[in-house]
Amino acid sequence: MVNLLFYLSLFLIWFMLLYHMFLMQGGYLHFEKYKESVKKWNKFPIRYPTVSVLIPAHNEEVVIEETIKALVKLNYPKEKLDIIIINDNSSDRTGEIAESYAEQYPFLKVVHTKPPHAGKGKSGALNQGLINSTGEVIVVYDADNTPEPDAVYYLVLGLENDHKAGAMVGKFRVANARKNMLTRFINIETITFQWLAQGGRWHWFKLATIPGTNFAIRRAILEQLGGWDEKALAEDTELSFRVYNLGYYIRFFPAAITWEQEPETWKVWWKQRTRWARGNQYVITKYLFNLHKLNNKRVVLDLFYFLFTYMLFLAGVLASDLIFVVNLFTELDLSAGVASAVLFVLAFLLYLSEVSLALSIERDQLNFKNFLAVILMYFTYSQIWLALVVYSLFLEITRVLFKQEVKWYKTQRYQQSAVVDQKR
């Protein structure tokens, strides 16, 4: 029985590792191909639809000014641009700062949310922004983002040339990557996720996930869907499933780039990633038992990807680790023996290959310091992430059983002067 459980856990782990390598190869191929689309689409003038850029902001005074400065520099016809800062029940100077810029730029306005539609989280703020917007295309940025000047142009370029795409997803980079070891880990994780999960899934399956920032979606689709799900902690993932269910796909188009802050302390990281994990677990349970209602069966592949990541792969790792620890103190008569050690080494080498390939895509990222960080991540960051997923799963089960209200955690921000060290 123990051997069966051990082999089953190895299968789950290796299935995910090999699938990730398959995705990473797709991500590299997408990197090679997307630039061809840019050249092709730029040969002809595009129609400039009206665009509403929504920025949900709750107590963002330390970052909102730099974000607004980046937004007003966007290379997009200003008569077609509508920038909306959603001051969501802030108790600091967020609203005051935003209003000072609204007085200078006619295409920028501030929406102040009021009870009962205030302070309920990002989804609620975005829904209020949508109500107050008029653009044919809705673009979303977080309040700590500084998009590059052509970011919105590229998002629109993609939508105008790919009518099967319901949403266009850009790339985000970590602005404070060199702050400390944690931000270096997050930078490596971010690059790997985007080229592996976003680029790879798009290349092989025409699948990608709407992120929390730097994406454009057609207004008609949002209105048909009724906006964002205010019960979802991962509103971006949840929205992705509904977009696919309408028959559209979501395209990963890394020509559109934004820079964002990431947590600089483990405490902030833990709270943010717990919210993300719980949000994705909510999406899994919401759709897993309603597969028959999904019109677009392709999205089932994505659902099982999330299921593997947050539940089955986790179960495999925990089971194998538990068996390994117990075997140190009690003879379990495992038949794997030397083979298990070989598989562990191969898994580690496969992990190094995947991450190194992702880093090689971004300029100056595959260097000696980052390579050492990748090795360290395997034994620290990745293991802490496993503990976090277990913790978040416990919280989500508790919420469902006791019918608790979902509480939104806003990630702590830092002064912008300290987080622009990696921009090029």
The structure tokens 């709407």 sit at 210
How does pLDDT run across 208-243, given as a tens digit for each residue? 999 999 999 999 999 999 999 998 888 999 999 999
Q: Does residue 301 contact residue 205 with C-beta atoms inside 8 Å?
A: yes
Give me the number of domains the chain comprises. 1
* pLDDT for res 424: 44
Q: Residue 51: what residue type?
A: V
Q: Residue 217: what residue type?
A: I
CA distances in angstroms from 103 to 59, 110, 221, 236, listed in the order given: 20, 10, 32, 31
Distance CA 384, CA 409 (A): 20
Distance CA 394, CA 417 (A): 38
Closest among 347, 348, 288, 337 to 312, alpha carbons compared: 288
∠201-202-208 over CA atoms, to 5°? 80
Distance CA 301, CA 416 (A): 39
* pLDDT for res 305: 87
Positions of the chain with pLDDT lower than 70, given as ranges: 324, 327-328, 335-339, 416-424
* pLDDT for res 147: 98
Cα 418 from chain centroid (whole Å): 23
Report the CATH number that the domain containing residue 408 is assigned in CATH.
3.90.550.10
Question: Is-above-0.85 flag for pTM?
Answer: yes
Beta strands in 88-186 (DSSP E): 108-112, 137-140, 146-147, 165-174
What is the largest distance, in Å, between two alpha-carbon atoms of the chain? 75
Helix, strand, coil shares, percent, the chain, to 5: 60, 10, 30
Q: Does residue 302 contact residue 201 with C-beta atoms inside 8 Å?
A: yes
* pLDDT for res 299: 86
Beta partners for 51? 81, 137
Q: Does residue 321 contact residue 344 with C-beta atoms inside 8 Å?
A: no
Look up the domain containing 173 and give its range. 1-424
How does pLDDT run across 144-181, given as a tens digit for each residue? 999 999 999 999 999 999 999 999 999 999 999 999 99
Provide CB contacts within 8 A for 11, sequence distance 6+.
316
Pair type for strands 146-147 and 51-57? unpaired
Distance CA 261, CA 15 (A): 33
Q: Is 21 exposed, middle or buried (0-12, 13-18, 19+ CB in 10 A)?
A: middle
- Respond yes or no on whether the N-terminal peptide bond of residue 147 is cis (omega within 30° of 0): no
The structure tokens 């833990």 sit at 270
